[in-house]
Amino acid sequence: MRYVQVVSSALSLATYALAQEGEVASKVVCDAATKICYSSYSDAGSGMTFGIALPKNVTAPYDAIIKITAPVENTWVGFAWGGQMVWNPLTVAWANGKSATVSARFAFSMGLPQGYDGAEHILLKGTTTNTTHWTVNALCKGCTGWLTNEELAYSLNGTGTTQFAWAYGNSAVEDPASNTSAFNVHAAFGHWIHDLNAARIDNFESLVKSNLLTAPIAAPAPSTIVTSVVPSATNKPANAVIPASCAGVGNPAFQSNLASGWKATKIAGGLTSPRSIQFDTAGNMLVVQAGKGISYHAMGADGCTTSTKMLVTLNSLNHGIAMSPDGKTLYASSMTQAFSWPYDAAAGTVGTRTTIITGMFNGGSHLTRTLAVAPNLPNLLVVSHGSNANIDTASADKKTARAIIKVFDLSKLPSGGYNYVSGGWNAGYGQRNDVGITFDNNNMLWGVENSADDIKRNGKDVHTNNPSEKIHYMGDVSKPNDAWYGYPTCLTVWQPSDFTDKQFQVGDWFVQSPSGSTTDENCKAQAVAPKLTLMPHSAPIDLKFDPDNTNLYITYHGSWNRSPTTGFKVVQVAIQKGADGNYTPVAPLTSTTGAVDIFWNPAVEKCQGNGPSFSSGCFRPAGLAFDKQARLYMTSDISSNGELWVLGKA
């Protein structure tokens, strides 16, 4: 699967500097009505215009006026102050009756950009909607500077040039009157080089004053949440293990179906993109909320939460969390770094943060860095790092340290932390994006891989039902594992009938264009086969064994690049212990039925998997964790109303 392409895939500060070297595409345009002159860029293809006006004095922090004009078909437009979707202030605007709404947003990861309190917009005269176009004209305080992913202050050079980016959508925003409205994924995006020096105008302050709207701006209307609920198939009386309901959590946002004998109960709502779950040694549940931090949920004996608070507030955290087996050290990751904190489970507090890993890739299309601690070797932290693109050719060299899993000995932590690329040792490479990693009861490492999009065989499109997502076995992490798991060259067949040049079986290796030494046969000789293949485009992002390792549970986050949509469910894979004492799936590699549905959306083809969407129309399984009573907890990371669920046998 693929997350939405980042508007510009390289995100580093170096890129901001480089971007300034391109050809300037803006010119000065003055508006007769407001008397404001803008440094203005018109995008011919989309019919949109973006104007910026700045004060003469651009010593940071400084304000800006932004004017966006767009055809009414563009139901929302985003303007990225740092020239990319993630990690910069976004001005997002849309038509609202005869006026328009403007919203300050920030995408801390791939998902619906959240409200951003570091910037504030004040609508100015010239904000209108007519039959063909809408225009937002607004003062922005806080748009020209921000903190980067690594908490460094960055501000736009107001006497230079910079790269900006636009995006627009063409499906209705959820609630046009509200500046906190959700909206759906963009239909198109682009970027250009803008002259900021030319945006500096005389009388900035007085022009702002003379163009303030006198009429009060309507208060945002509350946004609505879909609450249609169908009773699940298993409507049996409450069982001691899984609560029938939890007080005060509200109805589930979406309908769901359950496998026979199973029960699922929503235990919390209103979370911000909840991702991975970690239980502490006292039974409290910690949840990474992407773009927000880590929340702490004290749990009752009934499996419901009894209280909730924020444990760590840190916008850069987006997925990874782990804990030392003694429960005294908490770990979490951002796109580029991993951190540790001394942790007190009973008090629900952390001590001072230490940066333990730096230098993970800044940008690309896979931004999460999943963490796990080896249960038997508590000094070993395992960190999974995906590729930086659909096909990241350079990652074929394990030294790039992408599409790889690495292990770091924290008992030998260098001052300032390990560099991800040069430090540690490998636990396998050539895994495109193993977002889920976990250990079995033999302390052996497993992972679940998100495989590639847009795949062809000798030019023939085979992407709808190939390649397979996969379950990988990496094994013992105490020693370097330099085995190659196939990516970016070798992919796995799911639907053999799509291949016309050769007879394949499910689970066979294939290359896109056989030639020279790039052959299916060489894949077989050189790459470690998966343990089991999974439905293409399912986007599996977590896997956990049940306590006795008879089943593996996997969240399918849901597809991006497949029509009809697939995924959006939790599946179960039966596991057995072989004669050699190793665990392995019961189903053979040639099977496509090794994963069975446990908890799923009734009409998956209606779920929207393509990136930031205002609701997805579906619950969206993300993280999993078992508590000590063997209850399976799950996050659903719908951006605007994330939920926690508990699942178990009824």
Ligand X SMILES: *[C@@H]1O[C@H](CO)[C@@H](O)[C@H](O)[C@H]1NC(C)=O
What tokens were used for 160? 């230079």
CA separation for the pair 258, 264 (Å, rounded): 8
Nearer to ligand X, 131 or 515 (CB): 131
Q: Does 120 bind ligand X (CB under 6 A)?
A: yes
Q: Which stretch binds ligand X (CB under 6 A): 125-133, 290-298, 401-409, 607-615?
A: 125-133
CA separation for the pair 387, 392 (Å, rounded): 6
How many other C-beta atoms can be found within 10 angstroms of the C-beta atom of residue 428?
Answer: 26
Q: Give the CA distances from residue 8 to residues 246, 360, 467, in Å, rounded to whole numbers and listed in that order.
A: 43, 18, 26
CB of 306 to ligand X, least distance (A): 31
CB of 311 to ligand X, least distance (A): 25
Pairing of β 434-439 and β 445-449: antiparallel
Per CB under 6 A, contacts with ligand X among 367-386 are none
Largest pairwise CA distance in the chain: 83
CA separation for the pair 334, 355 (Å, rounded): 11
Whether 153 contacts 88, CB under 8 Å = no
Q: Which stretch binds ligand X (CB under 6 A): 152-160, 247-255, 386-394, 491-499?
A: 152-160
- SS3 state at 532: strand
How many other C-beta atoms can be found within 10 angstroms of the C-beta atom of residue 359?
Answer: 15
The set of residues, in sequence order, having a beta carbon less than 8 Å from that of 579 and lying 6+ positions away, is none
Per CB under 6 A, contacts with ligand X among 25-84 are 57, 59, 69
State which of residues 88, 96, 135, 276 lies at the interface with ligand X (CB under 6 A). Answer: 135
Q: Which stretch binds ligand X (CB under 6 A): 131-139, 278-286, 330-338, 640-648?
A: 131-139
Give the helix/strand (H/E) hosting 551: strand 551-556
Q: Which stretch binds ligand X (CB under 6 A): 153-161, 208-216, 619-627, 640-648?
A: 153-161
State which of residues 103, 390, 533, 610 lies at the interface with ligand X (CB under 6 A). Answer: 103
Q: Does 163 bind ligand X (CB under 6 A)?
A: no
Nearer to ligand X, 195 or 508 (CB): 195
Dihedral of CA atoms 526, 529, 534, 540 in degrees, nearest 10, equals: -80
Residue bearing tokens 């109303």: 641
Closest to 340 (Cα-Cα) out of 378, 367, 305, 384: 378
DSSP-derived letter for residue 398 is G
State which of residues 9, 12, 157, 584 lies at the interface with ligand X (CB under 6 A). Answer: 157
The set of residues, in sequence order, having a beta carbon less than 8 Å from that of 442 and lying 6+ positions away, is 581, 582, 583
CB of 92 to ligand X, least distance (A): 8
Per CB under 6 A, contacts with ligand X among 215-234 are 220
CA separation for the pair 99, 345 (Å, rounded): 51
Nearer to ligand X, 195 or 440 (CB): 195
Per CB under 6 A, contacts with ligand X among 245-304 are none
Encoded one letter per residue, x for contact with ligand X by CB under 6 A and - for no contact, window 616-635 reads --------------------
Nearer to ligand X, 329 or 640 (CB): 640
Q: Does 203 bind ligand X (CB under 6 A)?
A: no
Residue bearing tokens 């767009």: 70
Q: Which stretch binds ligand X (CB under 6 A): 25-33, 154-162, 277-285, 570-578?
A: 154-162
CB of 87 to ligand X, least distance (A): 17
- SS3 state at 393: helix
State which of residues 26, 137, 179, 616 lies at the interface with ligand X (CB under 6 A). Answer: 179
How many other C-beta atoms can be found within 10 angstroms of the C-beta atom of residue 212?
Answer: 11
Per CB under 6 A, contacts with ligand X among 488-507 are none
Single-letter amino acid, residue 467? P
State which of residues 14, 30, 73, 160 lies at the interface with ligand X (CB under 6 A). Answer: 160
Q: CA triplet 96, 100, 102: central angle to 5 degrees?
A: 120
CB of 180 to ligand X, least distance (A): 5
Q: Euclidean distance between the first and final Cα of the chain, in Å?
A: 33
Whether 438 contacts 545, CB under 8 Å = yes
State which of residues 27, 98, 159, 456 lies at the interface with ligand X (CB under 6 A). Answer: 159
Nearer to ligand X, 179 or 340 (CB): 179
Nearer to ligand X, 177 or 421 (CB): 177
CA separation for the pair 56, 495 (Å, rounded): 62
Instruction: State how far Cα 510 lies from the chain centre.
Output: 29
Q: Which stretch binds ligand X (CB under 6 A): 156-164, 259-267, 324-332, 636-644?
A: 156-164
Give the helix/strand (H/E) hosting 2: none
What tokens were used for 442? 């033999």
Q: Which stretch binds ligand X (CB under 6 A): 128-136, 163-171, 379-387, 595-603?
A: 128-136
Q: CA triplet 372, 375, 378: central angle to 5 degrees?
A: 85
Whether 88 contacts 106, CB under 8 Å = yes
Q: Which stretch binds ligand X (CB under 6 A): 124-132, 423-431, 524-532, 583-591?
A: 124-132
Nearer to ligand X, 157 or 550 (CB): 157
CB of 320 to ligand X, least distance (A): 27
Nearer to ligand X, 25 or 249 (CB): 25
Nearer to ligand X, 195 or 392 (CB): 195
CB of 81 to ligand X, least distance (A): 14
Nearer to ligand X, 224 or 517 (CB): 224
Per CB under 6 A, contacts with ligand X among 571-600 are none
Q: Does 180 bind ligand X (CB under 6 A)?
A: yes
CB of 10 to ligand X, least distance (A): 19
Whether 38 contacts 31, CB under 8 Å = yes
CB of 79 to ligand X, least distance (A): 13
List residues near ligand X by CB under 6 A: 57, 59, 69, 103-104, 115, 120, 130-133, 135, 157, 159-160, 179-180, 220
